[in-house]
Amino acid sequence: MTLMLASVLSSAEAETAVACGVDIIDCKDARRGALGALPLDEVARIVALVAKRRPVSTVVELPHDVSHARAAIEAAATTGVDFVKFALPMTPDMREVVDQLAPLCTKIRLVAVLFADLGPDFEVLALLARAGFHGVMLDTAHKGRARLLDYVGVSGLGEFISRARALGLSHGLAGSLEAPDVPRLLVLEPDVLGFRGALCAAGERRNALSAEAVTLVREMIRRPHAPAPRYGEVDHIFVRDLVVPVEIGAYGFEHGHKQRVRFSIETEVYRDIGPDDMRGVFSYDVIMDAIRIVLAAGHVELVETLAERVAESVLLHERVRAVEVSVEKLDVAPPASVGVRIRRERAHHHGAQSAILHVKTGA
């Protein structure tokens, strides 16, 4: 289950977030950059107002001196927050910093933040896990320039999540995320998705939270036991003639290099009966992400296998009723192409969707 985190800079914003169903309240001064810290007295007021209705996290700006950093984290913990976050310094003394902070992990749930736009090394995740850190988030340092997905593709984010999960680290994604990013990221099943700007009036992170914007994102991240969405007619969402270099082929000469492959994918998607906004949209980005995720796994021998994996990835989205995938190799006998076309459907049982697939192949 993916939780929604909202960064707030006042007790009034915290109350808005709680009222709109946000899962985690994050105390942060968005006016002071990516991880600007709020005064501890304001953090304490937010903790008191939330009154255990939701977990609360806060940001600490680490001083360069490690002993002062420990003192800052301990002071933040006295406010009663559930988690303390800080930007992990990617400096030569980073390992020393982690080692010095490790003793705090027995009493404080520490979350290290890595910045996607500053070239993070995911090898550090093992170090954090050994030190006893509670979790790690991937964010962006420079707000307003680009979104998380502009720096790290879906396959790279999947690698980050897989590594963190294998190490037992709670993990989250943030970084100027917008409503259209939600369905693209939910398929990766991160523990947390964090937001600020997308929840604010006019999409400006320095503005106050907008209850309408918070509700939109909240409803895109469905919670367990939430009412099932009402689906109506079927739309056809497609990506056609997308040519990508792919490592594919069963012959020996086809290994070790890429050849051109053309994808054409059409999905039958249930229209969401509801507001006319992003809650009702199934984006073609989701289809292209499915291709990227599959290709990131490396060499594929058969076009049939490639088509099957793409279809399975698209069908992870519950609104997809059926998908038709065409995969063509363009360099085998140009100007002709060779390949396969398959159709996969989601079965229905008692009016509910299931993950059982009916196999239908076409040529």
Active site residues: 28, 85
Which residue from 60, 101, 53, 96 is spatially nearest to 78, judged by alpha carbons? 60
DSSP state of 257: S
Query: Phi, psi at residue 334, to the nearest 5°?
Result: -60, 145
97: which 2 tokens? Answer: 């910093």
Radius of gyration of the chain from its Cα atoms, rounded to whole angstroms: 23
Distance CA 323, CA 237 (A): 10
Distance CA 136, CA 76 (A): 18
Query: Phi, psi at residue 270, to the nearest 5°?
Result: -70, 130
8 A C-beta contact, residue 262 and residue 242: yes
Strands (E) in the chain, as ranges, are 3-8, 24-27, 56-59, 83-87, 110-115, 135-139, 170-173, 192-195, 231-246, 259-272, 320-329, 338-349, 352-362
Distance CA 263, CA 339 (A): 10
Which contacts qualify for 327-330: CB closer than 8 Å, 24 or more apart? 327/261, 327/262, 327/263, 327/303, 328/261, 328/262, 328/264, 328/303, 329/248, 329/249, 329/259, 329/260, 329/261, 329/303, 330/243, 330/259, 330/260, 330/261, 330/262
**Look-up of token digits 């980005």:** 285
